[in-house]
Structure 1
Amino acid sequence: MHWSTVLCIASAWSPLIGKAIASHGDDLYAFSDCVYQCEQVTCHNNHYYEFQWRFRNILKDEPDFEFKYYNGDWEFDSIPLPLHLRLLGWTCELNCDYQCQRIIHQMRKDNNEELYQYHGKWPFLRVYGIQELVSAIFSVGNFYVNWLGFKRVFGLMKDKKLDPRLTYANYNVLFLAVVSMMAWTFSTIFHFRDYDLTEKLDYYFAGLTVLSGFHFIASRLLGLFEPGRVYSRISLGAICVGAYACHVYRLVNDWSYTYNMQANIAVGVLQNGGLGLLVYSLYSKFYAEEQAKKASHNGIEKENIMNEPANLSFLKYTSLRRVILPSFYANSPKLYSLYPLLLSTIVMLGMSLEVFDFPPFFFDLVDAHALWHLVTIFPAYYGWFDWLVWDINENILEKAKSD
C-alpha cells in the first residue's frame, strides 16, 4: 500500500474511532458539573454559587432550581488568561472545558477507573496553549522530510541531472511533495488548536494527498509521462480536479466522517492496486532481463558470470544512507523495484496504532496518533522520492527510447 494513501485512510478513520467513544467522557456528570462550576466561578464571577450548594436543602423545593455538584478542591485558572493562551484563541469557557478534562481524567486515573476521551480526543496535557504538542512536532517532522524530497528532486532538475524529455513526470514528483507539505502544514495547525476550520482543512488536504498519489500512479501505468501524451494528461488531470471539487463540495454542504473515509478508501484501493501492478511489472522486467542474461552466457563459465558488475545505475538517484537494508535492496534493480513494498509495510504497521488506540502516556503528551505521525516520517526520508525519480528517469525513459 502506498504510504501516503495509508496516511490519508488512517486520518479519515481516526476521527470515527474518537467520535464513537467521545460521549463517554462528555456524558460524565462529574465533567459537566466541573465545567459548570468553573464557568460560574471564573467566567461569570458567580461567588454565590458555592452558597447555593451549601443551602441546597433549603432550595431543593424550588421547581426551577437546578443543583450542580460543588467541589471545593477543584482549582481553576484566574481571569484574564495569559497572553499566549488568548493568542491561540482560548476563551474562559474553552479553558474551563480543558481544565475539567484534565481534572476528571486525573481523578479517574487516581481511582483506577476507565479513562475516556472528551469531544472525540484524549485529554492531553496542554503546553503553552498547544493542544497536542507531540503530534504537532511529528507533523513538522513529516513536513521537513517532504521538503527534503522536494529539495532533492528540484536540485536534480536544476542541475540538469534528470532527463528534460520527462520534465512533466519530474514535476509530478514535485507536486506530490508540495501537496504533502501542505497537508502536514494543516495537520500541524490542527494539532496546535482544534477548531472546526482547522479540522476540515486537515482532512481536505489529506484527501488531496491521496488523490494526487492516484493521479501519479495512474499517469505512470497509462504511459502518460511519456512524450507526446499531452491530451491524455489533460483529460486525466481534468477528471481528478473535477472529482476533488465534487468531494470538497459534498463535505462543505454536508460534512460526514463516514463519507470522507469511504471516498478516501475507494481512491486508495485504486491507487494501491496500481502501485502493486507497477512494482510487479518492474520486478518481472528485471527478472526477465536476468534470465535472458544467464541464457546468453551458456558457453561462459558460471564463475565469470558471477564476477560481472551488477547494473547499479539507480544508485545515482539516491544515497545508501537513505535506503533501509541497503545490503539487500542495493544489490540489483530487480530488488530495488520492490522497495516501495517495504516502505508501505512500515506504514501499515504504524497504522495499527490507530486501530489499537490507547490513552496518552509520558506526561499525557504521547498517544497512538502521535506515534503514527512518527512512523510516517520514515518513508519520505528513506528514499520514497528517490525511488520515484529512479523509476521515471530509468524505466520510463528506457521505454520511451525503445518505442
Structure 2
Amino acid sequence: MIQLSFLVILLSFSTLCFASIGDKFSYFQDCTGFCRRDFDCPEYNFAYTWTTSPCFQCRQKCIFETVQIFQEKGWRIPQFFGKWPFISFYFNFGPLFFLIQEPASTIFSLLNLLAVYKMYKRICKEVDEEFRMKTVWKGYGWAGMIVWICSALFHSRDFWITEYMDYFAACLLIFYAMFAGVSFVFPWLQSSNDGKKAYVFFQVIFVWD
C-alpha cells in the first residue's frame, strides 16, 4: 500500500515526454525500409547485421538525412534508438568491416578499464595479504574490468548481445559493490559460506521485488 501511494505521488509530478522520436519519424522509417529492400537488412533493429556493411552505412545515411530534415524545420536534433546521432568511425579491411559506433564513449570506456586495471595491480602489490578485505577488493577490480570491457564493446558495436552484456555487467558491479560494503561492516559475510549464501538470497529477493 505504501509503495502504491508513493507511485501515485511520483506519477502526479510526471509530464509527457517523447524519447527517440528520430527512429519513429516517417522519413527514417521509409529510408530504412529501402535498406532492408536493397541490402536485405533485418527487420529487427538491434540485430547484429545492422552493425555490418552495408546495412550500417545505409542506416547512418538515413539517420543524418533525418537530422537534416529536423534542422531545416527548426526542430531539435532527435535521438535514434535512445542515442544521439554520433559520427562513427568505420572502414573495410578486405572482407572485414571495422566499426566503432561511438568513438568518444569507446575511448572513455577503455580509459576507465585502464584505471581499474591499475587499481587492481596496486591492490595485488601493495595491500598486505593479511588484510581481510584484500580478496574482496581484488574481486571488485575484476568486476570493474568486466564492466568496462563490456561497455567498450557496446559503444563500438551496439546490437542486442552487447547491450545485454553492458547492462548485466553494470548490475554485477552494483551488486558486488554492495557486497563489498556490507562485507566491510559484517566480516562473517565473506568468511563463511552461510554468509555468502545469505547475501545472494537477499540480492535475489531485492531484484525480484
The answer, yes or no, to whether TM exceeds 0.5 is yes
1:199 maps to what in 2?
Answer: 163
1:132 maps to what in 2?
Answer: 102
Q: Deviations over 1:190-209 (max 9, x none)?
A: 00111111111111111110
Tell me the distance in 2 between the aligned counterparts of 1:97 and 1:221.
51
Tell me the distance in 2 between the aligned counterparts of 1:21 and 1:126.
22
Measured after TM superposition, the shift of residue 31 of structure 1 is 1.1
Is the CA contact 2:22–2:66 (under 8 Å) kept in the aligned structure 1?
no
Q: Deviations over 1:148-189 (max 9, x none)?
A: 1111111114xxxx2x432x4111111111101110100100
* 1:235 equivalenced with 2:194 (yes/no): yes
Tell me the distance in 1 between the aligned counterparts of 2:64 and 2:198.
47
Q: Deviations over 1:336-371 (max 9, x none)?
A: xxxxxxxxxxxxxxxxxxxxxxxxxxxxxxxxxxxx
Is the CA contact 2:51–2:159 (under 8 Å) kept in the aligned structure 1?
no
Is the CA contact 2:31–2:62 (under 8 Å) kept in the aligned structure 1?
yes
Q: How does 1:148-163 map to 2 (within 5 A)?
A: 148-157=118-127, 162=128
2:185 maps to what in 1?
Answer: 221
Tell me the distance in 1 between the aligned counterparts of 2:147 and 2:179.
17
* 1:165 equivalenced with 2:162 (yes/no): no
Letter matched to residue 124 of structure 2: F
CA shift in 2, pair 1:215/1:39, >3 Å: closer
Provide the alpha-carbon RMSD of the alignment: 3.1
Letter matched to residue 236 of structure 1: G
2:80 maps to what in 1?
Answer: 118
1:141 maps to what in 2?
Answer: 111
Structure showing greater relative contact order (alpha-carbon pairs closer than 8 Å, 6 or more residues apart):
1
Tell me the distance in 2 between the aligned counterparts of 1:176 and 1:106.
45
Residue number among 36, 40, 50 corresponding to 2:33 in the alignment: 36
CA shift in 2, pair 1:99/1:242, >3 Å: farther
Q: 3-state DSSP class of the match of 2:170?
A: helix
Is the CA contact 1:215–1:236 (under 8 Å) kept in the aligned structure 2?
no
Letter matched to residue 85 of structure 2: P
Letter matched to residue 191 of structure 2: V
Measured after TM superposition, the shift of residue 33 of structure 1 is 2.1
Tell me the distance in 1 between the aligned counterparts of 2:80 and 2:171.
26
Q: 3-state DSSP class of the match of 2:78?
A: coil
Tell me the distance in 2 between the aligned counterparts of 1:214 and 1:230.
16
Gaps of 5+ in 1: 1-18, 45-85, 248-261, 267-403
1:323 maps to what in 2?
Answer: none
1:316 maps to what in 2?
Answer: none
Letter matched to residue 150 of structure 2: F
Q: Deviations over 1:46-67 (max 9, x none)?
A: xxxxxxxxxxxxxxxxxxxxxx
Alignment length (residue pairs): 178
Identity over the aligned pairs, expressed in percent?
23
Tell me the distance in 2 between the aligned counterparts of 1:139 and 1:26.
26
Tell me the distance in 2 between the aligned counterparts of 1:169 and 1:88.
45
Measured after TM superposition, the shift of residue 94 of structure 1 is 4.1
